């Protein structure tokens, strides 16, 4: 059983670590981006920023992984910049400590714009009369955002938070598989790639199924738990 497999638990902790760091950065940043974008009054500039921020989401994972490997290679842009300023070149993709930060940064870049769409849509549903009333009461831009804008999109934020917490173990298989190598398995091997190697390639299907069920149960518990906590604290929940 995988319960007694030390390698599995290392992989599980890697997955949890990547998932939590991804959640910490990829969840609030699209909200902040949407709030900032909502303050832009120049429509042409706003559309340009939106389009530029959406594009990375539609790029193939293969292309994104290739860009990451190229930028972080020993002769890539990042190392050339480090060398130019007198630093020592870093073998990013051969050093386990760099795998998770690089993955999380790439996820932020890839999902920032796309993740803001729901919040921008929620912002358009806020009644303009609420802003007018706030202005008449002497509220500045920050106070309007705090007392009108944020409460207006809070249900959307709660919904997305619950769903994101539930998928914290769903670290992307394709990108991890394309970026990882045996040198970074200690921090870069996740449940999905471990299942692929041990369960699929080794034809150990019962083992792979057991781990998949375990992962699904953890995800369900996280969704139910986060929804219950949200209902108690904010009085807003999925059900």
Q: How many domains does the chain have?
A: 1
Using one digit for the tens of pLDDT, what is the confidence trace for 173-226? 899 999 999 999 999 999 999 988 888 888 888 888 888 888 889 988 988 888
Decide if 103 is inside a domain. Answer: yes
> What is the pLDDT averaged over residues 159-179?
89
Q: Name, in order, each residue with C-beta under 8 angstroms of 192's C-beta and a sequence gap of 6 or more.
A: 15, 171, 172, 173, 176, 177
Which residue range is the domain that position 203 belongs to? 2-234
Decide if 168 is inside a domain. Answer: yes
pLDDT value of residue 228: 87
pLDDT at 134 over 70: yes
Decide if 202 is inside a domain. Answer: yes
Instruction: Kindly report the pTM of this predicted structure.
Output: 0.89
Decide if 223 is inside a domain. Answer: yes
pLDDT value of residue 2: 61
Using one digit for the tens of pLDDT, what is the confidence trace for 3-40? 777 888 999 999 999 999 999 999 999 999 999 998 88
pLDDT value of residue 1: 61
Q: Name, in order, each residue with C-beta under 8 angstroms of 48's C-beta and a sequence gap of 6 or more.
A: none
- How far from 208 is each of 7, 137, 197, 202, 222, CA to CA, in Å? 14, 61, 10, 10, 21
pLDDT value of residue 172: 80
Decide if 220 is inside a domain. Answer: yes
Cα–Cα dist 239/233, whole Å = 14
Decide if 155 is inside a domain. Answer: yes
Contact (CB, 8 A) for 2 and 214: yes
pLDDT value of residue 166: 87
pLDDT at 63 over 70: yes
pLDDT value of residue 91: 92
Decide if 239 is inside a domain. Answer: no
- Determine what percent of the chain is predicted with pLDDT higher than 70: 98
pLDDT value of residue 219: 87
Decide if 156 is inside a domain. Answer: yes
CATH number of the CATH domain containing 199:
1.10.3720.10
> What is the pLDDT averaged over residues 132-158?
89
């Amino acid at each position: 059983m995988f319960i007694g497999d030390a390698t599995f638990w290392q992989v599980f902790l890697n997955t949890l670590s990547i998932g939590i760091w991804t959640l910490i950065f990829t969840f609030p940043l699209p909200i902040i981006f949407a709030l900032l974008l909502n303050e832009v009054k120049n429509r042409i500039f706003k559309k340009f920023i939106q389009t530029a921020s959406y594009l990375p989401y539609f790029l193939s994972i293969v292309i994104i992984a290739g860009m990451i490997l190229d930028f972080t290679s020993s002769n890539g842009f990042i190392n050339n910049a480090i060398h130019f300023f007198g630093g020592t070149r870093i073998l990013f993709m051969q050093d386990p400590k760099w795998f998770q930060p690089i993955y999380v940064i790439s996820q932020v870049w890839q999902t920032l714009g796309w993740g803001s769409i729901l919040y921008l849509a929620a912002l358009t549903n806020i009644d303009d009369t609420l802003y007018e009333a706030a202005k008449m009461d002497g509220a500045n831009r920050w106070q309007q955002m705090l007392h009108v804008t944020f409460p207006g999109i809070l249900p959307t934020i709660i919904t997305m938070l619950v769903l994101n917490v539930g998928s914290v173990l769903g670290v992307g298989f394709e990108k991890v598989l394309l970026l990882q190598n045996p040198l970074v398995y200690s921090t870069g091997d996740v449940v999905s790639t471990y299942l692929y190697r041990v369960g699929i390639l080794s034809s150990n299907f019962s083992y792979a199924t057991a781990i998949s069920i375990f992962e699904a149960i953890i995800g369900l518990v996280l969704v139910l738990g986060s929804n219950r906590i949200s209902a108690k604290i904010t009085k807003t929940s999925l059900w």
